[in-house]
Amino acid sequence: MDDAMHVISFDDLKLLLQSYSSKKAILTFHSIGDTDAIASAFALHAYMKNSVIATPDRITANARSILNKLGFNPNDISNEFPEDADIAVMLDVNNFEDCGSFAGKLSSFKGKLLIIDHHMLKQIENENLYVFNSEHFSATASIVMKALDDLSVHLDKNTLLLLALGIISDSAEFKNSNPLTFIQIGRIMEKTGESYPSLLNYMWHNISPEDKASFITSLFKAAVHIRNSLVFVEGHAEHSANVLADDAIRIGADVALFHSSSNGEISISARLRPPLDSKYSLHMGYIMKKLAPLIDGTGGGHPCAAGAYGKQAEGLEEFIAQFNDYMYRKTER
């Protein structure tokens, strides 16, 4: 029996979503769900009325902040996997391994499995699995928006704004974009009456002048070194390591690694300047997942943006050393 997955066309994707629109569904995504994954899930949830959004562990602080600003409740995201669902939709991820605690449940799921993703296609042996995976889209939110548009689904203002933020974030603020990226953002701006600066404002953390000063000070104190013609930036953040890692890439770093700790938990954020992930076959999510046991935690994410969380601060030094060693070896040419 042929047990290979089914790679489907965009038209097939729309038909599949339509046929399961009223059936029981779970909408899930990779470990440590980011804004693109969350936006895709909430938009599909507006169409698939009998669906639940579930995360295998947590969502990023950025995604949580955006949901709160737009009036969505992050607590509506479950940690339970409904085994009796008719369909499981995996968003912004194209393999089971990156789905953390849901990996085994997804691989043995008896219902229909559907992947909607925009990264490099991976082969999975599973006859229940249907895959729409196209790198022609800059974000999974872009795929979901086009599918719902074609199905004439009406989305409210805040869901449209959430989709826009998913597209902006996963296109690395248009560094990885195509004509459709700009068309969709333009359409959302036209429909919602929002300007581009106002869209970016939803992504901006409301922080005090003291916290801003702390971010700048931490960034200036970060270690900077050059290896294999790449600029590496590494440092400690009083809080929000992900913000500093993003800022380091924004001002010219090729690789950024920042860590912070609070409430007995250590948080590590890694960033890579696109398209270095493709050039060197690098995946930050894979690296964070592989190293997370060193801090007694979990990790995951995307090729250019990922994180790890754990409770074993004593393992941080070894984590950083192994991260750098791996990056040095992979970027040697």
User: Do the domain assignments include residue 275?
Assistant: yes
Do residues 192 and 227 share a domain? Answer: no
Q: Which of 18-22, 241-245, 287-291 is modeled with the greatest confidence?
A: 18-22
Q: What is the mean pLDDT of the chain?
A: 92
- For residues 88 and 224, membership in a common domain is answered with no
Mean pLDDT, residues 153-175: 92
Q: Is 61's pLDDT higher than 90?
A: no
Residue 60 has pLDDT above 90, yes or no: no
Residues making up the chain, counted from first to last: 333
CA atoms within 13 A on the CB side of 201: 6
State the CATH number of the domain containing residue 47: 3.90.1640.10
Work out the pLDDT band at 206, boundaries 50, 70, 90.
Answer: low
User: Same domain for 98 and 214?
Assistant: no
Last residue of a domain, one of 168, 200, 232: 200
Q: Are residues 11 and 111 in the same domain?
A: yes
Span 64-73, mean pLDDT? 96
Residue 302 pLDDT = 76
In terms of residue numbers, what domain contains 229?
209-330
Query: Does 16 reside within a domain?
Result: yes
Q: What is the pLDDT of residue 2?
A: 58
pTM to 2 decimal places: 0.81
Q: Provide the token pair at 28.
A: 């899930």
Averaged pLDDT, 192-199: 96
Domain shared by 220 and 178, yes or no: no
With a cut of 70, say whether residue 221 has pLDDT above it.
yes
Band (pLDDT 50/70/90 cuts) for residue 188 is very high
Query: What's the number of domains the chain is made of?
Result: 2
Predicted confidence at residue 298, as pLDDT, reads 84
pLDDT band (50, 70, 90) for residue 100: confident
- Please say whether the beta carbons of 189 and 157 come within 8 A: no
Same domain? 95 vs 113 = yes
The structure tokens listed for 175 are 């560094």
For residues 166 and 287, state if they share a domain: no
In terms of Cα–Cα distance, which of 81, 77, 78 is closest to 108? Answer: 81
Same domain, 167 and 222: no
Sorted by sequence, the CB contacts under 8 Å of residue 257 that are 6+ apart come out as 232, 233, 234, 245, 268, 269, 270, 271, 320, 323, 324
Q: Please, where are the H alpha helices in 235-315?
A: 241-250, 276-280, 284-291
In a domain? residue 1: no
Instruction: Kindly state the average pLDDT of the residues 122-150.
Output: 93
Judgement on whether residues 96 and 172 belong to the same structural domain of the protein? yes
Same domain, 59 and 116: yes
Question: Stretch 36-56: mean pLDDT, rounded?
Answer: 97
The whole-number average pLDDT for the span 26-37 is 93
| Residues 148 and 20 occupy one common structural domain | yes
| Interval 48-55 mean pLDDT | 97
Residue 107 lies in a domain: yes
> Residue range 299-322: average pLDDT?
89
Mean pLDDT of 231-247: 91
Reply yes or no on whether the pLDDT at 207 is more than 80.
no
